[in-house]
Amino acid sequence: MARDTLFLLPPGFEANGQREFCPECAEIWGVLAWYPALKETVDVVYVGLDHPRGPIAGLLGPGKHNAPTLVLAENSPRASGVTYSQAGGHDYLPSARLIARHFAGLHGTPMPRGG
Condensed to tens digits (0 to 9), the pLDDT of residues 7-66 reads 999 998 888 899 999 999 999 999 999 999 999 999 999 998 877 787 898 899 988 888
**Calpha distance 4→16 (Å, rounded):** 32
> Which of these, 3, 1, 9, lies nearest to 56 by C-alpha position?
9
pLDDT for 1 beyond 60: no
Output the pLDDT for position 115.
Answer: 60
Question: Residue 86, SS3?
Answer: strand
Report domain extents, the chain: 4-107
* 68: preceding bond cis by omega (within 30 degrees): yes
Output the pLDDT for position 9.
Answer: 93
Output the pLDDT for position 66.
Answer: 87
Calculate the CA 50 to chain-centre distance.
17
Question: Residue 42, SS3?
Answer: strand
Name the pairing type of β-strands 42-46 and 90-93: unpaired
